[in-house]
A and B are shown apart, each in its own frame.
Chain A
Amino acid sequence: QKEVEQDPGPLSVPEGAIVSLNCTYSNSAFQYFMWYRQYSRKGPELLMYTYSSGNKEDGRFTAQVDKSSKYISLFIRDSQPSDSATYLCAMKSGGYNKLIFGAGTRLAVHP
């Protein structure tokens, strides 16, 4: 079993839709939960991070972490064609520890 599970999609939605992306994990030591966005032929870029459980909002993006269920989500409101990319969840425990990524979900937002 992988430490982080993420449905690879692809997910195709119309412009303006609300998108929900999810990951589950098995390692209870994870404390930091990140969402990276990766456009084709580019490196991942950080969208948001959450420490421990709770919600975090940044513009059209909301990240949620439920440590009791080992489940994290990213919601995108009013999705735009420019949001079309692969979304990677990533996690780490404290200190200098490495990032553990999910497989990534490919999202396509069509006009």
Chain B
Amino acid sequence: DAGVTQSPTHLIKTRGQQVTLRCSPKSGHDTVSWYQQALGQGPQFIFQYYEEEERQRGNFPDRFSGHQFPNYSSELNVNALLLGDSALYLCASSRPGLAAPGAYNEQFFGPGTRLTVL
């Protein structure tokens, strides 16, 4: 099992450009969440996709958008890049359904895409 994979590994963009990051979930998982991790900070939730729909969204502007494909892979798009968008972008996948009460439906994280905005 390859686990959660993300591409590209690193990316350098300039202010105002647009970027697309990609994620393939762990085998058997159908839910994908995206997080932004600034340097020295914990991950911050951007949004979650399930059945090709955005199920939840964190406190991020509309410049951040996403998509989920029928094979459960996902893309994160960021428009009009700002310097402050420089961060590690993490994708996490989890298996179908809710866990039993008291159990945690683990989110498995990929290695992330390091985005630098100049």
Contact = CB atoms under 8 A, between A and B. Distances in A.
A34 B104 contact: yes
Interface string B65-99: 00000000000000000000000001010000010
State which size class the interface on A falls in.
20 to 34
A4 B92 CA distance: 20
A104 B42 contact: yes
A101 B104 contact: no
A48 to B, nearest CB: 10
A88 B55 contact: no
B25 interface: no
A64 B92 CA distance: 25
A96 B44 contact: no
B111 A103 contact: no
A46 B98 contact: no
Given A51-B103, A96-B98, A44 B43 contact: yes
Contact of B42 (A49, A94, A95, A101): A101
A4 B112 CA distance: 22
Interface in B25-83: 31, 33, 35, 40-45, 48, 50, 55-56, 58
B55 to A, nearest CB: 6
A18 interface: no
Interface in A73-111: 88, 90, 94-104
A98 B102 CA distance: 16
B4 interface: yes
Interface of B: 4, 31, 33, 35, 40-45, 48, 50, 55-56, 58, 90, 92, 98, 101-104, 106-112
Interface of A: 4, 6, 8, 32, 34, 36, 41-46, 49, 51-52, 88, 90, 94-104
Top 8 closest A-B pairs, CB basis?
A101-B42, A43-B109, A98-B45, A51-B102, A49-B104, A44-B109, A43-B111, A103-B42
